[in-house]
């Protein structure tokens, strides 16, 4: 029975041909496919599809649910944090150790790939990358695995990093040209971070960029010594973005190590907690900007560096914006990394202001202490990995933000290593915020945690004026982008755990949410969808 | 010297805590551990072997590698590639037996394979104590001034509005460790870690809710759940009721809201002084 099903599925897909990523086409979101983690290379997660709009969104109806109950995981580990790819009517998404292919029309499972048990940390998986007929997946124990998109069969696996040294991998690889860009994670044993380009056919290394500079290189002056630099952390946790015209790959790095022990690594600790622009052909650093100099609070600066063009101070510019985990919103000139706007989007008590380069100035009295330092935000941050979205039609940047507190303790006895401290989260909250990129000012706030708790859900915007997300009580939401009021909701009793996506299939616009262990696909009733086609 | 000793003692406390936890875990009935499911279970280490290993390591290797194996004149062995990949001494054994003359490391040909396996177990334990932050011990919190804390309790902190040192808080310091006491006065209720672990703790008093419906009717009771669309409550007669928020005015009286608002007001000195005062309530 099972075999028969697989055979049928394979047959129905046999007409598919290889899919090429056209860099120019991916400067903005395609409408009939979602071929990268962010849908396109810009990271905007903004769709021009307008079949669903503020006037008819109330009619959205559930089309199907796919429950990924066969993951072998449960709880937080067993929820869908990946953004699915949609390619030729098939959705590809992941959890740690697991990849699924699901029919986007029906919600039927086409195949399920299960990676063997392994000791890597199973905190999350952001998804897969796709090149031709091949999927690329990073396992918790840091293998890069090439999987046949047709049948879920593994082609090869290549080691990216050493799980015994406490590396673990969560990134959705990003395809740029004939390169599979892979990042790494792992904070607990003072490993150096790095980013690699791998050959899509063989998995071999094409180039490698190290987060920490070598002695004598620019940035090395921000570390006390070579030993500290070699164990300085700076993980490449999240997929980056890419500008095909500038041919610059933008990637982000995590906190320095030892995590809570600033005295062990006096200085800014470059290029940790940084946004870096790399040449995608060579992996060479072109410019860098550091949202969190000398971080001691685990505030990875790995939130999506979102690319858009816009006017600022009367000049049309190529911009990049990040709402960073430390609570600051940054706008940079993406040609050179120069700061244009720095503004807090949440109240914080750790910074003494902003320096001439547009970077917050950390207050040493708020570094972790043996008797505790009460700090806002917590190590979980004013936001985290969850995808933000930017709508060019309104010049608004939307982020799932959090006002929260934590007590940071320094705990190391003797030489600080690993985390060297802990923090004790005190409160949570989740608030969807709209930020005007020109000023960094928050235009509106919509509390999605009226009953407490914290949302890890990402956001999606459409130029028709809809913002999709979810709250902390199991509601999926569509908000009006202009003022944040709720236009539609559906209680699915699981909180959103990924960034929603949208695409056109058979003349209907779908919105797909990941919440807990399930995918929920919504669309307008067919008659309503047909009606919009003729208007 | 004194410093060195205290380090060793703390190290032992760490080691014992870890071993104890493993021992407990091994005996406990099989229940999915959410932390282990996500972060991976602890390495399997024989506690007796690690303890023997420490006793061999400290006098034999500690002079150069540090008694805690974190490195001194010789490299840190906690994050040494060789030690991380070692299984029962298979990789470190030859190095210990033969030394590394080119790097100035002497040979220790007389250590038996069993002794080397014990050293390997000790190094695994040290690596685990470093990488597993959930095992870190938070201590040394009592730095504040109890007298100033008492003034804060009765003054700016407004704690005495709801609490009494001789009433509900009498003996509080006997019931909670300093770290738990500090967290609970900052933010009452279970911590994130406790919730994550599924640990049962005393629930907070439920907020009271009153909903003024557009019809003019008023519904009130104990809040069960709310979102931006509905309020669910238990009324005075004990019945569950749910009402739409559309057009309604909702008043929620949450006794914990004061604690949340106070978070933005504490200085670290207030926090430390208040803890010092509460610690006197024995």
- The closest CB to that of A405, out of B136, B227, B263, belongs to B263
Q: What is the pLDDT of residue A143?
A: 98
Q: What is the mean predicted confidence (pLDDT) over B75-86?
A: 95
What is the C-alpha to C-alpha distance for residues A400 and B119, in angstroms, rounded to an integer?
A: 48
Q: What is the sign, positive or negative, of the torsion defined by CA atoms of A442, A446, A449, A455?
A: negative
Q: What is the mean predicted confidence (pLDDT) over B264-269?
A: 96
Our CA-based measurement puts residue A79 at a distance from the nearest CA of chain B, in whole angstroms, of 12
Q: Is the preceding peptide bond at B110 cis, omega within 30 degrees of 0?
A: no
A:B CB pairs within 8 Å? 154
Q: What is the CA radius of gyration of chain B?
A: 27
What is the C-alpha to C-alpha distance for residues B21 and A194, in angstroms, rounded to an integer?
A: 34
End-to-end CA distance of chain B: 35
- List chain A residues with CB under 8 Å of B144: 371
DSSP A369: B
Our CA-based measurement puts residue B135 at a distance from the nearest CA of chain A, in whole angstroms, of 10
Q: What percent of chain B has pLDDT over 90?
A: 74
Phi–psi pair at A230, nearest 5 degrees? -75, -15
Q: What is the mean predicted confidence (pLDDT) over B61-74?
A: 96
Q: What is the pLDDT of residues B86-105, one digit of tens each?
A: 999 999 999 999 999 999 99
List A298, A300, A391, A471, catalytic entry: A298
What is the C-alpha to C-alpha distance for residues A146 and A402, in angstroms, rounded to an integer?
A: 37
Q: What is the sign, positive or negative, of the torsion defined by CA atoms of A256, A258, A262, A265?
A: negative
Q: What is the pLDDT of residue B20?
A: 39
Which residues numbered 124-183 in B keep a CB inside 8 Å of some CB on A? 127, 130-133, 136-144, 179, 182-183
Could A165 and B140 be called an inter-chain contact, meaning their C-beta atoms sit closer than 8 Å? no
Is A298 annotated as catalytic? yes
Helices (H), chain B: 2-27, 34-39, 47-60, 62-65, 81-85, 92-98, 113-131, 146-154, 172-175, 178-186, 192-196, 257-262, 268-278
Q: What is the pLDDT of residue A1?
A: 34
Using the structure block, give the residue that is written with the tokens 């005007």: A436
Could B228 and A450 be called an inter-chain contact, meaning their C-beta atoms sit closer than 8 Å? yes
Question: Do A302 and A237 form a contact (C-beta atoms < 8 A)?
Answer: yes
Q: Quick check: helix, strand or coil at residue B206?
A: coil
The helix-helix angle for B178-186 and B268-278 (nearest 10°) equals 120
- List chain A residues with CB under 8 Å of B187: 405, 426-427
Q: What is the pLDDT of residues A58-109, one digit of tens each?
A: 999 999 999 999 999 988 889 999 999 999 999 999 999 999 999 999 999 9
DSSP string, A135-180: EEEE-TT-EEEEEETTT--EEEEEE-S-GGGT-B--PPPEEETTEE
ipTM of the complex: 0.91
The helix-helix angle for B2-27 and B47-60 (nearest 10°) equals 160
Q: What is the pLDDT of residue B195?
A: 72
Q: Which helix (H) or strand (E) holds A133?
A: none
A493 by Cβ neighbours in 10 Å (0-12 / 13-18 / 19+) ranks as exposed
Q: Is B71 on the interface with A (CB under 8 A)?
A: yes
DSSP string, A50-95: -SS-TTTGGG-EEEEEEE-TTSS--TTTTS--SPPEEETTEEEEEE
The helix-helix angle for B268-278 and B146-154 (nearest 10°) equals 100
Question: Do A514 and A495 form a contact (C-beta atoms < 8 A)?
Answer: no
- List chain A residues with CB under 8 Å of B191: 424-425
Could A414 and B131 be called an inter-chain contact, meaning their C-beta atoms sit closer than 8 Å? no
- Lookup: tokens for B254: 């949450």
Q: What is the pLDDT of residue B12?
A: 34
User: CA angle, A48 as apex, A47 and A49 as ends, to 5°?
Assistant: 90
Alpha-carbon A337 to chain mean position: 20
Which residues numbered 237-276 in B keep a CB inside 8 Å of some CB on A? 260, 263-264, 266, 268, 271-272
Q: Is B195 on the interface with A (CB under 8 A)?
A: no
Measure Cα distances from A509 to A32, A303, A523 in Å. Answer: 9, 28, 6
As beta bridge partners, residue A390 has A397
Phi–psi pair at B55, nearest 5 degrees? -70, -30
Q: Is B72 on the interface with A (CB under 8 A)?
A: no
- The closest CB to that of B268, out of A77, A162, A373, belongs to A373
Q: Is A165 on the interface with B (CB under 8 A)?
A: yes
- Which of A130, A133, A100 minimizes the C-alpha distance to A115? A100
Q: What is the sign, positive or negative, of the torsion defined by CA atoms of A361, A363, A366, A367?
A: positive
- The closest CB to that of B130, out of A162, A189, A447, belongs to A189
- The closest CB to that of B183, out of A75, A349, A424, belongs to A424
Long-range contacts of A446-452 (CB under 8 A, 24+ apart): A446/A479, A446/A484, A446/A485, A446/A486, A447/B228, A448/A400, A448/A472, A448/A477, A450/B226, A450/B227, A450/B228, A451/B225, A451/B226, A451/B227, A452/A428
pLDDT-derived band of residue B65, with 50, 70 and 90 as boundaries? very high
Q: What is the CA radius of gyration of chain A?
A: 22
- Which of A182, A244, A170, A207 minimizes the C-alpha distance to A21? A244
Q: Give the pTM.
A: 0.92
Return averaged pLDDT per consecutive 10 residues of chain A, 535 residues in all: 34 35 82 95 97 97 97 90 96 98 98 96 96 96 97 98 96 96 96 97 98 96 96 97 97 98 97 98 98 98 98 95 98 98 97 97 98 96 97 97 95 95 88 98 95 90 97 97 98 96 96 98 92 70
What is the C-alpha to C-alpha distance for residues B206 and B220, in angstroms, rounded to an integer?
A: 13
Is the pLDDT score of B7 beyond 60? no
- Which of A304, A309, A295, A523 minimizes the C-alpha distance to A419? A295
Q: Is B37 on the interface with A (CB under 8 A)?
A: yes
- The set of residues, in sequence order, having a beta carbon less than 8 Å from that of A372 and lying 6+ positions away, is A407, A408, A409, B141, B182, B268, B271, B272
Is the pLDDT score of B143 beyond 50? yes
B263 by Cβ neighbours in 10 Å (0-12 / 13-18 / 19+) ranks as middle
Q: Is A493 on the interface with B (CB under 8 A)?
A: no
- Report strand pairing: A460-462 vs A46-47: parallel
A491 by Cβ neighbours in 10 Å (0-12 / 13-18 / 19+) ranks as middle
- List chain B residues with CB under 8 Å of A348: none
Our CA-based measurement puts residue B164 at a distance from the nearest CA of chain A, in whole angstroms, of 23
DSSP string, B119-185: HHHHHHHHHHHHH-GGGPPP-----S-HHHHHHHHHTTT-GGGT--TTTTTTTHHHHS-HHHHHHHH
Q: What is the pLDDT of residues B191-227, one digit of tens each?
A: 777 776 666 677 788 899 999 999 999 999 999 999 9
Q: Quick check: helix, strand or coil at residue A49?
A: coil
């Amino acid at each position: 029975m099972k075999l028969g099903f697989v055979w049928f599925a394979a047959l129905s897909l046999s007409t598919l041909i290889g899919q090429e990523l056209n860099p120019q086409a991916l400067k903005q979101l395609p409408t009939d496919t979602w071929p990268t983690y962010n849908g396109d290379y810009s990271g905007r997660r903004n769709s021009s599809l307008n079949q669903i709009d503020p006037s008819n969104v109330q009619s959205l109806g559930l089309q199907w649910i796919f429950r990924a109950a066969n993951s072998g995981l449960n709880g937080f580990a067993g929820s869908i944090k990946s953004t699915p790819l949609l390619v030729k009517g098939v959705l590809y998404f992941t959890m740690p150790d697991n990849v699924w292919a699901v029919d986007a029309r029906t919600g039927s499972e086409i195949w399920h790939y299960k990676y063997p048990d392994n000791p890597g940390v199973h905190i999350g998986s952001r998804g897969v990358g796709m090149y031709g007929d091949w999927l690329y997946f990073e396992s918790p124990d840091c293998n890069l695995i090439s999987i046949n998109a047709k049948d879920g069969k593994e082609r090869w696996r290549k080691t990216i990093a050493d799980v015994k040294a406490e590396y673990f991998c969560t990134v959705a690889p990003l395809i740029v040209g004939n390169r599979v860009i892979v990042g790494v994670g792992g904070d607990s044993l003072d490993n150096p971070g790095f980013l690699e380009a791998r050959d899509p056919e063989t998995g071999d290394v094409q180039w490698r960029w190290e987060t920490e500079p070598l002695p004598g290189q620019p940035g090395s002056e921000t570390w006390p010594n070579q030993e500290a630099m070699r164990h300085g952390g700076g993980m490449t946790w999240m997929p980056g973005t890419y500008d095909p015209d500038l041919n610059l790959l933008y990637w982000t790095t995590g906190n320095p190590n030892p995590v809570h022990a600033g005295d062990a690594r006096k200085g800014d600790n470059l290029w940790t907690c940084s946004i870096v622009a790399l040449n995608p052909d060579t992996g060479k650093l072109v410019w860098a900007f550091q949202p969190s100099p000398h971080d001691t609070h685990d505030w990875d600066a790995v939130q999506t560096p979102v690319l858009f063009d816009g006017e600022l101070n009367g000049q049309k510019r190529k911009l990049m914006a990040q709402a960073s985990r430390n609570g600051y919103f940054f706008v940079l000139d993406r040609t050179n990394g120069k700061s244009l706007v720095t503004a807090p989007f949440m109240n914080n008590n750790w910074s003494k202001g902003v320096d001439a380069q547009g970077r917050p100035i950390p207050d040493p009295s708020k570094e972790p202490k043996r008797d505790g330092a009460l700090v806002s935000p917590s190590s979980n941050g004013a936001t985290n990995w969850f995808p933000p979205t930017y709508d060019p039609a309104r010049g608004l940047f939307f982020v799932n933000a959090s006002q929260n507190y934590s007590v940071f303790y320094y705990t190391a006895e003797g030489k600080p290593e690993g985390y060297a401290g802990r923090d004790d989260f005190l409160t949570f909250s989740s608030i969807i915020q709209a930020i005007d990129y020109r000023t960094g000012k928050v235009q509106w706030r919509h509390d999605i945690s009226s009953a407490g708790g914290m949302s890890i859900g990402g956001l999606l915007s459409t130029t028709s004026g809809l913002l999709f997300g979810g709250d902390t009580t199991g509601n999926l939401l569509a908000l009006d982008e202009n003022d944040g009021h709720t236009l539609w909701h559906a209680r699915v009793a699981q909180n959103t755990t990924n960034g929603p996506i949208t695409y056109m299939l058979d003349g209907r616009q779908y919105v797909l949410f990941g919440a807990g262990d399930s995918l929920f696909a919504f669309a307008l009733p067919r008659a309503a969808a047909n009606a919009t086609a003729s208007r | 010297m004194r410093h060195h000793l205290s380090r060793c003692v703390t190290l032992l406390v760490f080691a014992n805590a870890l071993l104890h936890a493993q021992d407990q875990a091994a005996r406990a009935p099989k229940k999915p551990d959410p932390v282990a499911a996500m972060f991976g279970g602890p390495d399997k280490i024989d506690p007796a072997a690690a303890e023997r290993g420490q006793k061999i390591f400290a006098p034999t290797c500690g002079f150069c590698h540090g008694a805690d194996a974190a490195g001194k004149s010789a490299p840190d062995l906690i994050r040494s590639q060789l030690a991380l990949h070692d299984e029962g001494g298979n990789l470190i054994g030859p190095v210990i037996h033969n030394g590394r003359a080119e790097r100035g490391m002497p040979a220790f040909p007389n250590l038996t394979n069993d002794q080397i396996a014990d050293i390997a177990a000790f190094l695994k334990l040290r690596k685990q104590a470093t990488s597993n932050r959930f095992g870190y011990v938070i201590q040394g919190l009592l730095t504040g001034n109890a007298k100033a804390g008492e003034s804060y309790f009765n003054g700016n902190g407004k704690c005495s509005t709801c609490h009494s040192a001789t009433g509900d808080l009498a003996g509080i310091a006997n019931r909670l460790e300093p770290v738990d006491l500090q967290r609970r006065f900052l933010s009452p209720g279970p911590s994130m870690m406790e919730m994550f672990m599924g640990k049962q703790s005393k629930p907070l008093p439920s907020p009271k809710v009153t909903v003024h419906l557009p019809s003019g009717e008023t519904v009130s009771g104990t809040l069960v759940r709310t979102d931006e669309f509905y309020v669910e409550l238990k009324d005075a007669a004990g019945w569950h009721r749910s009402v739409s928020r559309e057009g309604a005015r909702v008043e929620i009286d949450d006794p914990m809201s004061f604690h949340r608002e106070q978070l933005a007001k504490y200085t670290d000195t207030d926090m430390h002084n208040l803890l010092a005062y509460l610690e006197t309530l024995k």
